[in-house]
Amino acid sequence: MKILVTGGAGFIGSNFIHYYLNAHPEDQVVNFDVLTYAGHIESLKDLEGNPSYRFIKGDITDAQAVKDAMQGVDWVVHFAAESHVDRSIIDPMQFVKTNVLGTAVLLDAALSNKVKRFHHISTDEVFGQLGESDAPFKETTPYSPRTPYSASKAGSDHLVRAYFETYNLPITISNCSNNFGPFHDPEKLIPRFITNLLEGKKVPLMGKGENIRDWVYVYDHNKAVDIILQKGVIGETYCIGGEEKTNLEVTKKILEILGLGEDRLEFVEHRLGHDLRYAIDDSKIKALGWSPEKSFEERLEETINWFKENEWWWKPLKKDRPNVDRSAQKSYG
Ligand SMILES: NC(=O)c1ccc[n+]([C@@H]2O[C@H](COP(=O)([O-])OP(=O)(O)OC[C@H]3O[C@@H](n4cnc5c(N)ncnc54)[C@H](O)[C@@H]3O)[C@@H](O)[C@H]2O)c1
C-alpha cells in the first residue's frame, strides 16, 4: 500500500506518519508538504533513511506537482491546510487558496489517478458554534462556519463530497475537534501556554476563559483516521471528539501540573468571531471500535513532559516568531 499524506510536516500530519508507519511498517508513506511557516520537517527527522518514508516538497495548488506525486498512490490522506484561525482573520485569501483550491487540485488528480481512497481531514469548526446547553455536533449537523478558516474548510468538505456524488471518487471525511500533543505549533493555545510558562512568561487567556473546546489527543485522532481507512464506509463522514473543557479549566490544569499559581494568568480580548463552544457526538466512530486510550488529564501531563524534554523543537519556533503572543499585547485586565 502506498499512501500520499499531504501536510505531513504539520502538527497532526507528522504525528499521523509516525503513527501509521508504526502500525503498518509494510506500507509506503509519501509526505507531500510545501513547508509553510507551520511545516516543520524536523518533526520527522527520526525517519531519515527509513525506506518506507519519502518526502516531496510541493504545493497542493500546483497541479503538475500534485499529478507527479500521485503516481502509483493507493490512498490519499489530506491534512494540508492553512489551519490557524487568527491568521485567517488577517489573510483570508491564503486560506481560500490552500484549503479550497488546493483540495480541488488534489481531488482532480485523485480522480484521474483512480486512487482507491481519498480521506479528507476536516474540523468541527465547519458546524459553527454551540450554546452551553445545545446538543453536540454530529455528522448530520448543518454547516454554519463563522470564520474564514472554518468557511474555507467547509468549502473543501463540500468539494470532497461533490467528487463522491458526481464522479464516485471513493472518499471518507473526518471532522475532528481540537487536537493537542507533541509537535504542536507554539502559536496554538495549549503549546503556547505550556511553553510560555516554561519560559517564565504569563499566559494570555481570551475573555474570561469561558469558551468551551472539545480536546482530543493527537494520537487518538490519528488512530481514528486509521480505523476509518481500514473499516470506514465510502462516502461517509465521521466526527471525532474527546473531552469538553473551558479554556480556563485547561489553563488551570496546566498551571497545576507545572506547580504554578494563577498570578501567571493574563486576560486578553476575544478574537473576532470567537466561537463559544464546540462539542462532538462521537458515537458513529465509536461504533467502528474507536475510543480515546487515556483521559485528557493524563494526556495533558504527557504533553507537558514532551515540551519539557523537547526544547530543541519549540524554542527556535518561538524565537523566530515573536508575534506568536500578539494577542497578549491587547491585554485589558
Ligand atoms: N489542529 C487541530 O486541532 C485540528 C482539528 C481538526 C482538524 N484539523 C485539520 O487537520 C489538518 C492538519 O492540521 P494541523 O493542526 O496539523 O495544521 P498545521 O498548520 O500544523 O500543518 C499544516 C501543514 O500543511 C502544510 N501546507 C500548508 N499549505 C500547503 C500547501 N499549499 N501545499 C502543501 N502543504 C501545505 C504546512 O506546511 C503544514 O506542514 C488541517 O486540515 C486542519 O484543518 C486540525
pLDDT for 69 equals 98
The pTM of this model reads: 0.95
Does the beta carbon of 104 sit less than 6 angstroms from any atom of ligand 1? no
CA of 7 to the centre of ligand 1 (A): 6
Q: How far apart are CA 72 and CA 66, in angstroms?
A: 12
Does the beta carbon of 55 sit less than 6 angstroms from any atom of ligand 1? no
What CATH number does residue 209 fall under? 3.90.25.10
Nearest CA to ligand 1 atom 5: 178
| Same-domain status, 38 and 155 | yes
Does the beta carbon of 15 sit less than 6 angstroms from any atom of ligand 1? no
- Residue 46 catalytic? no
**213 three-class SS:** strand
Nearest CA to ligand 1 atom 32: 59
| Same-domain status, 147 and 209 | no
pLDDT for 271 equals 79
- Nearest atom (ligand 1) to Cα of 13: 16
How many domains is the chain built from? 2
**Cβ proximity of 21 and 53 under 8 Å:** yes
Q: Considering only CA atoms, which of 192, 195, 189 is closest in space to residue 311?
A: 195
In a domain, 105, yes or no: yes
Nearest CA to ligand 1 atom 44: 123
| Same-domain status, 224 and 270 | no
| Same-domain status, 21 and 77 | yes
Does the beta carbon of 39 sit less than 6 angstroms from any atom of ligand 1? yes
Does the beta carbon of 185 sit less than 6 angstroms from any atom of ligand 1? yes
| Same-domain status, 68 and 117 | yes
- Residue 149 catalytic? yes
pLDDT for 241 equals 97
Place of cell 504545493: 59
pLDDT for 323 equals 53
pLDDT for 269 equals 87
Does the beta carbon of 33 sit less than 6 angstroms from any atom of ligand 1? yes
In a domain, 286, yes or no: no
CA of 99 to the centre of ligand 1 (A): 9
For 99-236, where are the E strands, in sequence order? 117-123, 171-176, 178-180, 203-206, 212-217
Q: What is the pLDDT of residues 127-184, one digit of tens each?
A: 999 998 999 999 999 999 999 999 999 999 999 999 999 999 999 999 999 999 999 9
Angle between helices 296-309 and 311-320 (to 10 degrees): 80
Q: Considering only CA atoms, which of 97, 108, 207 is closest in space to residue 163?
A: 108
How many residues does this entry show for the chain?
Answer: 333
Q: What is the mean pLDDT of each run of 10 residues along the chain (333 residues)?
A: 98 98 98 97 97 98 98 98 94 98 98 98 96 95 96 98 98 98 95 97 93 96 98 98 96 98 92 87 98 98 98 92 44 25
Q: How far apart are CA 58 and CA 70, in angstroms?
A: 12
**Cβ proximity of 282 and 126 under 8 Å:** no
- Nearest atom (ligand 1) to Cα of 40: 39
Question: Which residues touch 119 (CB under 8 Å, ≥6 apart)?
Answer: 75, 76, 77, 78, 171, 172, 173, 174, 225, 228, 229, 232
pLDDT for 151 equals 98
- Residue 124 catalytic? yes
Q: Considering only CA atoms, which of 170, 169, 179, 2 is closest in space to residue 79?
A: 179
Does the beta carbon of 94 sit less than 6 angstroms from any atom of ligand 1? no
Q: How far apart are CA 296 and CA 84, in angstroms?
A: 22
Which of 19, 53, 149, 217 does the annotation list as catalytic?
149
Q: Considering only CA atoms, which of 279, 295, 291 is closest in space to residue 212?
A: 279
Residue 322's domain spans which residues?
188-213+244-276+295-330
Cα 176 to Cα 50, 53, 157, 230, 283, distances in angstroms: 30, 26, 13, 18, 13
Q: What is the pLDDT of residues 7-25, one digit of tens each?
A: 999 999 999 999 999 999 9
How far does CA 211 lie from the centroid of its chain?
A: 19
CA of 301 to the centre of ligand 1 (A): 24
CA of 27 to the centre of ligand 1 (A): 23
pLDDT for 261 equals 96
pLDDT for 330 equals 29
| Same-domain status, 133 and 198 | no
| Same-domain status, 138 and 197 | no
Q: Considering only CA atoms, which of 136, 146, 147, 132 is closest in space to residue 242?
A: 136
